[in-house]
Amino acid sequence: MNAPLVMTEEDVEAQLTYADLIPLMKKTMAQFSAGAAIQPERQMLPIEPEQRYLGIMPVALPHAMGAKLVTFYPKNAAAGIPTHNAMIALLDVEHGLPLAFIGARLITEMRTAALSAAVSSVLAKPDSKILGLVGSGVQAKAHLQALRSLFDFTHVRVWSPTKANADAFADENGAKSLPLDQTVIGADIVVVATNSRQPVLRGAWLKPGSHVNSVGSPRPNWRELDDEVMRNEVIVDSRSAVALEAGDIILSKARIAAEAGEVFSGKVVIDPSRTTLFKSVGLAVQDIATAHFLYERAMNRGTN
């Protein structure tokens, strides 16, 4: 038996691209919505409520199996430390033997943005030119990178509750720091990535026919979107997961039009004239599929 492969965060960064991830997320989520994955809802242990959480996320696909351990520490943001850290144990589907241990902080960051970009490629207007980023942290930057790989933006706007953070983000990423309402009004695509406990995005600001990706506030009693936002066409990564974890869905009692995988497979077709919202909480199936992709690439390179 060979020793398990070990991939550090630096190894992942050197190997993983959005060109790889966006089509992989489309394929993986279509499999998930078709029932091809065995995935219990993750256990999120509140070690210190509002401050420290440990998530345990097992999953099995026909071709890949494993588990992810993830920590969510909102308080890390004040210290300049990533709020999410994780690792993946990848296992052989035939015998359960360990294949790899892979750093998953960057995988989590990139697959989240890649899935939003994949959904945007189907639901947003192909000629979208204005991007509004509500939040200026890790996910804002990841979404900007992923979406720029698909859309030719002429204007990128950013807002943060801490203006200095938005200004720094704007300087580093060719964006413009603006007040919250001006970040959103007229935008073709909006990304909301906050740890807000109360809604920050108002539906009244949204341009008709625009698309929103919401990936923040991942607790059942937290919200970043108001009820008017939630009355638009709502797509989610997993109906069962958002029903347990997404305060935006739970507290608004939103009607869910489809899972992303159902849109990718063509099972559900969304009216392109509608204003759309993609709300995601993140799924282990995305992580394990990405880890398996990296493992296969490493093995193929090792034998060539």
Q: Residue 79: pLDDT above 70? A: yes
pTM of the model: 0.93
Q: What confidence tens digit (pLDDT) does each residue in 191-248 have?
A: 999 999 999 999 999 999 999 999 998 889 999 999 999 999 999 999 999 999 999 9
65/147 same-domain check: no
Region 180-186: mean pLDDT is 98
Q: What confidence tens digit (pLDDT) does each residue in 246-293 have?
A: 999 999 999 999 999 999 999 999 998 999 999 999 999 999 999 999
Give residue 9's domain range: 5-107+285-303
291/181 same-domain check: no
290/148 same-domain check: no
Region 74-97: mean pLDDT is 91
CATH number for the domain spanning 62: value is 3.30.1780.10
Average pLDDT over the chain reads 95
CATH number for the domain spanning 228: value is 3.40.50.720
Neighbours of 73 (CB within 10 A): 18
Alpha carbon distance 206, 294 (integer Å): 38
55/127 same-domain check: no
150/183 same-domain check: yes
268/290 same-domain check: no
Alpha carbon distance 61, 38 (integer Å): 7
Token code pair at residue 105: 């902080």
Pairing of strands 98-103, 5-7: parallel
Helix (H, G, I), strand (E, B) or coil at 68: strand
Q: What confidence tens digit (pLDDT) does each residue in 139-163 have?
A: 999 999 999 999 999 999 999 999 9
271/136 same-domain check: yes
As for how many domains the chain has, the answer is 2
Neighbours of 244 (CB within 10 A): 14
